A and B are shown apart, each in its own frame.
Chain A
Amino acid sequence: MVVRKSFICLCEDVTVEELRSAIRRGYTDIEDLKRITGIGTGPCQGKQCLHIYREILAEETGIRIEDMPLTTLRPPIVPTSFGAWASRDDDEEADR
């Protein structure tokens, strides 16, 4: 059951009510609402929340869930340490 104070995005502490309030201000685009509320921009990068977000947005706007797009997914797939990125070149050198 979705209640007003349910969290959609646990990383950024965004509630259902916050999303609804942004929709009431006239924003209905999934990309705009991501930027207004911060949904999906924390360390999980939307893996926990994207589909809940899409469902609630579909419900609120009357758009069919099948027609509700995903937000743009950005690399890396999981947060990756600077050290790991930085060492990639060295590993490749060693393999040769």
Chain B
Amino acid sequence: MRDHAQVAIIGSGVTGLSTAYSLVNKGLNDIVILEKGHLASGASTRNGGGVRAQFTTEENILLAKWSIQRFRQLGLELKVNFWFRQGGYLFVAESEQELVSLRNAAEFQRRFGLGTKVIDCDRVQEIVPCMDCSGIIGGSYRRGDGILFPFPLLIGYADFLRSHGTDIETHCEVKHIAQANGEFVLETSRGELRVEKLVNAGGGWSSGVGRMLGVNIPTRPVRHQIMAGEPLAPFLKPMVVTLRDGFYMSQGPRGELIGGINESGSRGSDPGKSSAAFCEQFSSRVVSLFPMLSSARMMRQWAGFYDMSPDANPVLDRMPGVEDAFVACGYSGHGFMISPAVGEFMSCLVTGKKPPFPTEPYRLSRFEEGNTKSESLVIG
């Protein structure tokens, strides 16, 4: 491993990779990415690949809308196919109250130019013909939302970065960070690295990285589980989400079903541990909503985590009190889908440019000031 670089990024998840990619595009390519596990081994390789702009806060809508435009180009730039498919996101309501909240959300989203439609049960049935809609009274639908396959995008970024001078050091844990002579001295499991600038893109571990710099980051990883079903002929166009229990399911590029549900009971804290209770809870919902899937098989099931922030909106900021250190975290389950915008945002902060987004709402200090508006569409 080299011993000096202009920028170190802690974390090789999609945030770190996307930030490095935007930095390289701005002409800065003396970068080392430090990763304690294998490439993107946290939430980035455990997520369901959903991409949506249907949110309830300006913070998420702006980043998501920008990112969806980028996802349409990114495959060509990186020369990879990550199977971005805009089949829409369909949120379904099973009570009048849920429908009201979807209607309010759609109205809010329209202020940002999103064409989210509130639809009745008949239209829901048209979009998803095989779903049992007897308990469904309506929903909201946005065609521009969709899904992607996370791995090829991650690998595409990594290949591009490695061929443009960025070193990605995997199995290289940062143990200690000191500051000396205007530089950061990172003590890692594979030697010492001195850098001018530092980006904390540690995902579920970002508050731990914050502590090494004496900065309190109030985000914490919360376990969520997910499953993949065996490949089936295409039958499901949009990502289907139920508000009642945070059930979601989409059909991926290989025909496999991908889905999760808001786990009832204890969530535990070990993102590596999955549970049979999840399989039962999720499957009960699958069978009631999609009776035809009763004999389809669950192939694989795993656990990951959302790095939850107190208001479920991201933190994108300079590290308060530490010059030339930056933090991007707290995506609360939406990190992959907003990653192109986050990378652009962070690369602007690092290079002293103005990001193409307001910076105020993403500040870390908002939690102390008590001035926050929470995202309510956190699913799964």
Task: Using CB atoms and an 8 Å cutoff, list the residues of chain A in contact with chain B.
Answer: 25-27, 29, 31-32, 35-36, 41-43, 45, 72, 74-76, 79-86, 88-89
Q: Which residues of A contact B286 (CB under 8 A)?
A: 82, 86
List 23 A–B pairs whose Cβ atoms lie within 8 Å, in order of A's numbering.
A26-B162, A29-B170, A35-B45, A35-B151, A35-B155, A36-B151, A43-B299, A45-B300, A74-B300, A75-B274, A75-B276, A79-B298, A80-B298, A81-B294, A82-B229, A82-B294, A83-B283, A83-B294, A83-B295, A86-B283, A86-B286, A86-B287, A89-B284
Given contacts A25-B159, A75-B274, A89-B284, contact A82 B297 (CB under 8 A): yes
The secondary structure that dominates the B interface is mixed
In-complex Cβ contact of A79 among B154, B276, B299 (8 A): B299
Q: Are A31 and B298 in contact (CB under 8 A)?
A: no
4 smallest beta-carbon distances between A and B, as pairs: A85-B283, A83-B294, A79-B297, A82-B283
281-302 of chain B: CB within 8 A of chain A: 282-284, 286-288, 293-302
What's the Cα separation between A20 and B229 when bound, in Å?
A: 28
Whether B230 sits at the interface, judged by CB under 8 Å, is yes
B155 contacts A36, CB within 8 Å? yes
- Name the residue on B nearest A11 (C-beta): B231
Known: A31-B38, A75-B276. A45 touches B299 (CB 8 A): yes
Task: A32 to B41: give the CA distance in the assembly, Å.
Answer: 9
The answer to whether B301 and A75 touch across the interface, beta carbons within 8 angstroms, is yes
For B170, the chain A residues whose CB sits under 8 A away are 29, 32
Question: If the complex has contacts A31-B38, A31-B41, are A85 and B155 also in contact, measured as CB distance less than 8 A?
Answer: no
B298: chain A residues within 8 A (beta carbon): 76, 79-82, 85
Most A CB within 10 A of own CB, among B41, B293, B298, B301: B298
* Nearest A residue (CB) for B257: A82
Give Cα distance in the complex from A80 to B297, angstroms.
5
Q: Which A residues lie within 8 Å of B171 (CB)?
A: 29
Give the residues in chain B near A35, CB-CB below 8 Å. Answer: 45, 151, 154-155
Q: How far is the CA of A85 from the CA of B299 in the complex (A)?
A: 12
Give A69 to B294 CA distance when docked, in angstroms.
36
Interface centre among A45, A81, A82, by most chain B C-beta atoms within 10 angstroms, is A82
Interface residue? B10 (CB, 8 A)? no
List chain A residues, Cβ under 8 A from B159: 25
Using CB atoms and an 8 Å cutoff, list the residues of chain B in contact with chain A: 38-39, 41, 45, 151, 154-155, 159, 162, 170-171, 228-231, 272, 274, 276, 279-280, 282-284, 286-288, 293-302
CB distance from A34 to the nearest CB of B (A): 9
- Quick one: given A35-B45, A35-B151, A80-B298, are A74 and B280 in contact (CB under 8 Å)? no
Taking CB atoms, residues of chain B closer than 8 Å to A83 are 283, 287, 294-295
Please name the residue on chain B nearest to A78 by beta carbon.
B297
Besides A79-B297, A89-B284, 9 more A-B contacts (Cβ < 8 Å) are: A26-B162, A36-B155, A41-B228, A43-B299, A72-B272, A76-B279, A80-B279, A86-B286, A89-B280
B296 / chain A contacts, CB cutoff of 8 Å: 81-82
CB of A75 within 8 A of CB of B287, answer: no
- In the assembled complex, the CB of A17 is this many whole angstroms from the nearest CB of chain B, namely 17
| Distance from A88 Cβ to chain B, minimum over Cβ atoms (Å) | 5
Residues A76 and B280 in contact, CB atoms below 8 Å apart: no
Which of A29, A32, A81, A86 contacts B284 (CB under 8 A)? A86
Residues of A within 8 A of B228 (CB): 41
Chain B minimum-CB-distance residue to A46: B300
Q: How far is the CB of A20 from chain B (nearest CB, A)?
A: 16
B302 proximity list for chain A (CB < 8 A):
72, 74
Contact A75 B38, CB 8 Å, known A45-B299, A81-B294, A82-B294: no
A86: chain B residues within 8 A (beta carbon): 280, 283-284, 286-288, 294
Contact A82 B155 (CB under 8 A): no
From A25, A32, A45, A79, B38 is in contact (CB under 8 Å) with A32
Please, how many angstroms separate the alpha-carbon atoms of A44 and B282 in the complex? Answer: 22
Min Cβ gap A36→B in Å is 5
Residue of B nearest to A40 (CB): B300
- Whole-angstrom distance from the CB of A21 to the nearest CB of chain B? 12
Q: How distant is B334 from chain A, measured CB to nearest CB, in Å?
A: 21
